[in-house]
A and B are shown apart, each in its own frame.
Chain A
Amino acid sequence: MSNKPFAANSLYLLGFVVLFGLVPILKTTNYQMLLAAHVLVWGLFAVSFNMLFGVTGMLSFGQALYYGMGAYSVGLCVKYLGSAWFFPGMLLGLVLSILFSWLLGHLIIRVSGVFFTMLTLAFGQLGWQVMFKWYSFTGGDDGIQNIIPPGLFANKVAYYYLVLALVGVSIWFLGRLNSSPMGLILRCVRQNPERVRFLGRRVRRNQQRIYCISALFSALAGALMSGVDYSIHTDMFYWTTSGHVILMSILGGIGQFFGPLVGAAVIVTIEDVVGAFTEYWSLIIGSVMLVMVLGLPRGLMGEIAHLRVRFANRPAKLQTRLGEELK
């Protein structure tokens, strides 16, 4: 994970916001705007996931729990209390995600490595089963439809800009966090937790914090998604949703802050194209994942950054190679 000064990253972020801000202005169809909104929301979800995996080294397979929590807080509020409760529902989702992640974090951060991953998966599936089987309250696998944001935001373009603003601010915040002292500690936790402890920093407390922060932004992504699609489904809690966000991060590059965002854009596009002519979507996803893990573990952005370093420092090539070997 690069730790360049945040100013450089801010420039990328600005470009990103301007680019997506142009989408409704340029002659695009509603469908293209919907796709752009999907990229934004999945991008936020993927970047917040990557704060756990790429930065801290905690591979969570249960972020769908918080994503679904955000979506269902909005959906259930609108279903039972009316459209005006859209934004209070969103707030509720954020509060709930913090609460749950704080409680669950205490349980699952006790174990590390693959067992951490599997526990997050297990609790994620627990959430899915509850939502799936509590038919009388959640509507089970019928999902919830007609979640229309209130007032001004019932307009698709207005809602799109709201999504863009919230995603932009969130990613800016996460980027700040990433290059803050806390971000540095998190990267140390990934590389050498014992050393972090020697240096007088608490490993588990930092893991717990980033777990909660990641949950918070995952919930925000879920809540935003409910207003983009006007409908939600228990699949948002299902483990494949977590898998989806993992794939986006890997594809884009977990070592790059903006990698997952690029991954989200690529996956949403592929999904749109491939989904048109085959239902065997997970076969495609699985194969892409296989190739990425075996062949391009740095991800698209990571490989580009790697190539750039290699071509920029041709004379220093030997040094780079030495550095690689030392790693």
Chain B
Amino acid sequence: MDLSFFFVQLISGLTMATFLFLIASGLTLIFGVGKVFNFAHGSFFMLGAYVGYQMSSVWGQNFWLSLVAGGLFAGVLGMVAEFFFLRRIYGRADEGGFQILLTYSFILILDDLVKLVWGTEYKSLAKPESLRGALSFFGIVVPTYNVAVIGIGLFVVIAAWWLLNKTKAGRIARASALDREMLAVLGVNVPMTMTLVFGIATALSGMTGVLAAPLRSVTPGAGIEVIIDSLIVVVLGGLGNFWGAWLAALLIGEVNSFAIVFVPKWATLFSYLVMALTLVFKPEGLFAPRKVRRV
């Protein structure tokens, strides 16, 4: 294999890994803080992409404005969903199942609303003016946009880590994962915290949608594909392990990127294969130190 071709695939895998990680980290954040599994997380990704597309096609071509708009829209909608719907089933017996069912109904509703508003044809979003073209590292040419996405991903990861670990808001979020009652006694509005965390996570998902839109076409069914891929990442990373998810995203991104070269038709099966193998040999996840509670 040609070296420069190898690098291009490597970068493309890294880009995909960044998308996967951004979504999986939002999923992990909500799960960690509120023990809520947002099955509709991928739908917020799709919605962000559509809002971004709308922004850039109707209200001017500014990509960065679209990025903010997509994120904001998904974030606000996420908070609305949590505040008016999800909140009502907290604490119910069999909560996990009902969460999945409720967020599953969000997927169905959002999918059709998107079809109603934007139709079923594929939409595409242009890369921002400043990030078209390619960069050259030591004679190896890679697309600028992909490098920028990887950079943004790294920035978000570091920012999220800093927010969670070094700020008061982060401490509150982490505390509400551990002991909500105590936190409430200390005067923190725990339900509001949950709504905000949900909003941040869905905003992240929506922004990722806009970021991914120039590379993959925007379709109504994108939500479910994305949720399965990021779920695989979460499982591989070891259920709720932040850095594990990052490594798992890298693994899945690269496996996919190189599988497309060798077996284009069956490439999508490889991430499932990796997951199945992991479950056989290390059900607690590739990078998890702790064991899954076996029932």
Q: How far is the CA of A130 from the CA of B99 in the complex (A)?
A: 29
Shortest distance between the CB of A260 and any CB in chain B (Å): 14
A126 at the interface (CB under 8 A from B): yes
Q: Which of A93-147 contact B (CB under 8 A)?
A: 107-108, 110-115, 117-119, 121-123, 125-126, 129-130, 133
- Does the CB pair A193–B295 fall under 8 Å? yes
| Interface residue total, chain B, C-beta cutoff 8 A | 45
Ranked nearest first, the 4 interchain pairs of A and B with the lowest CB-CB distance are A286-B108, A283-B112, A289-B105, A286-B109
B294 at the interface (CB under 8 A from A): yes
Give a binary string over B80-114; 1 marks a CB under 8 Å from any A CB, 0 the rest: 00000100110011101111111011111101110
Residue of B nearest to A127 (CB): B272
List of A residues within 8 angstroms of B275 by Cβ = 122
Q: Which of B87-143 contact A (CB under 8 A)?
A: 88-89, 92-94, 96-102, 104-109, 111-113, 115-116
List of B residues within 8 angstroms of A287 by Cβ = 105, 109
Residue of B nearest to A286 (CB): B108
Shortest distance between the CB of B85 and any CB in chain A (Å): 7
Shortest distance between the CB of A283 and any CB in chain B (Å): 4
Our pick among A115, A133, A280 for the contact of B116 (Cβ within 8 Å) is A280
A22 at the interface (CB under 8 A from B): no
A59 at the interface (CB under 8 A from B): yes
Q: How far is the CA of A293 from the CA of B86 in the complex (A)?
A: 10
- Does the CB pair A282–B112 fall under 8 Å? yes
- Does the CB pair B279–A239 fall under 8 Å? no
Please report A residues at the B interface, Cβ cutoff 8 Å.
Answer: 53, 57, 59, 61, 107-108, 110-115, 117-119, 121-123, 125-126, 129-130, 133, 193-194, 203-204, 239, 243, 246, 250, 280-283, 285-287, 289-290, 293-294, 297, 327
Q: How far is the CA of A125 from the CA of B279 in the complex (A)?
A: 17
List of B residues within 8 angstroms of A289 by Cβ = 101-102, 104-105, 108
- Does the CB pair A129–B268 fall under 8 Å? yes
- Does the CB pair A293–B108 fall under 8 Å? no
Assuming A111-B283, A293-B102, is B97 touching A286 (CB within 8 A)? no
Residue of B nearest to A197 (CB): B295
Instruction: Name the residue in A61, A114, A203, A204 with the highest tally of chain B Cβ atoms < 10 Å from its Cβ.
Output: A114
- Does the CB pair A113–B96 fall under 8 Å? yes
List of A residues within 8 angstroms of B235 by Cβ = 111, 115, 118-119
Assuming A107-B276, A112-B295, is B108 touching A59 (CB within 8 A)? no
Given contacts A114-B96, A282-B112, A286-B108, 4 further A-B contacts (CB under 8 A): A130-B269, A204-B294, A289-B102, A290-B85
- Does the CB pair A59–B228 fall under 8 Å? no
Give a binary string over B252-295; 1 marks a CB under 8 Å from any A CB, 0 the rest: 00000000000001101100100110011001000000001111
B37 at the interface (CB under 8 A from A): yes
List of A residues within 8 angstroms of B37 by Cβ = 114, 118
- Does the CB pair B279–A286 fall under 8 Å? no
Q: How far is the CA of A165 from the CA of B265 in the complex (A)?
A: 42
Assuming A112-B295, A293-B89, is B107 touching A121 (CB within 8 A)? no
Residue of A nearest to B276 (CB): A107
Residue of A nearest to B220 (CB): A282
- Does the CB pair B85–A122 fall under 8 Å? no
